[in-house]
Structure 1
């Protein structure tokens, strides 16, 4: 895989869930409901991700919020719980309130000041992204909020990355896409973007497919590489 080339970058896009906000924080609403909230929260998230990948080949679409509700239902049933729809929606609402990582607001400020048009490219639907922008404190520094809902197709579909580049009025080759998820890195690179893996320490890089153009352990490190 070619090395990361900061001189090519005109815009920087970011994944959202697991990259800008901590999805593990969803475990807080499961306390008192299941014996192992952390494990069930991970399964909840993984179920929703798996459903989003399956949706494309099946030509089906539900909003990302709805996929998380369905993913939560499966995770709770696997844990021996059978909540009502109303209770599922109450619990699922935590995805509007997830805690941001502490390097997010500062990185967006630095990138905005340097004219990199920091933007979000997410599976999240518009309502989810509105909440995320508020909780992360990037209201004045984020440029575009590109949602899979616009095309009704999820990552890693090439069309979604190309659409994001169009919204930013740049070629995909001039975009660096930053994400904590290997599938998203490879999706971006397949569309011609430079893929940046943000290693949040959750899991090692996958054995499947190619390597990222760049690996960083924080968004501050990403900014340092761009500004070298």
Structure 2
């Protein structure tokens, strides 16, 4: 399906990997490991795996707790021993990840065009507060919606449906924007329209459903909505 902009009343954005760049963690990792890119990818992948396994076994911990455990696992997997304070210093980077340069402009154009904007994230409340503050987008958002509110992580449908209830629109009236290949089909399965921000020139799927719109930047989203 193609994106039906006429049906959209609100636009919801993922946070990590969509608004802020999770590869920022490579810089503090580089002070301790020879292959920071590899360790950062192991860390990211393991944190998402923990979230999805937690969904499956109905065991919930905050996302910050999951990334704490995932960092330790990634370092152990590479044979790197750091003490707790060193790991916590690296972990704290999640409160000040680099913001993609197109974010503020694209969101501002959409807000000025009359769309209500939200963030829907696996991050817990403290993470989202720091992310919004660091990204300087608080004045553009109506609210943030955290996995903590339902104790389920994306791509389970519960969080997207809860977000729709919070937003006050039917799922089909919400365009969901994410950089994660796994996040967009989750939102679409819950009834939202899906926009994939493919910043890394990645491969989609294979899924029967394609994103309703694929872009490289938030500016292209604003263009699509004539904002």
Tell whether 2:90 aligns with 1:91.
Answer: yes
C-alpha contact 1:186 1:209 (8 A) present in aligned 2: no
Secondary structure of 1:12's match?
strand
The size of the alignment, in residue pairs, is 227
Alignment match, 2:219? 220
TM-score, length of structure 2 as denominator length: 0.96
Instruction: Quote how far apart the aligned CAs of 1:159 are.
Output: 1.2
How do 1:46-61 and structure 2 match up within 5 A?
Answer: 46-61=45-60
Instruction: Quote how far apart the aligned CAs of 1:100 are.
Output: 0.3
- Matches of 1:87 and 1:167, distance apart in 2: 38
Alignment match, 1:201? 200
- Matches of 1:171 and 1:204, distance apart in 2: 29
Instruction: Quote how far apart the aligned CAs of 1:82 are.
Output: 2.5
Alignment match, 1:12? 11
Alignment match, 2:27? 28
- Matches of 2:44 and 2:98, distance apart in 1: 15
Structure 2: runs of 5 or more not aligned? none
List, as ranges, runs of 4+ consecutive aligned residues in structure 1 with deviation greater than 4 Å.
none
- Matches of 2:60 and 2:99, distance apart in 1: 27
Tell whether 2:131 aligns with 1:132.
Answer: yes
TM-score, length of structure 1 as denominator length: 0.96
Structure 1: runs of 5 or more not aligned? none
Alignment match, 1:37? 36
- Matches of 1:203 and 1:43, distance apart in 2: 18
C-alpha contact 1:185 1:196 (8 A) present in aligned 2: yes
Q: Deviations over 1:105-129 (max 9, x none)?
A: 1122112112211110000001111
Alignment match, 2:160? 161
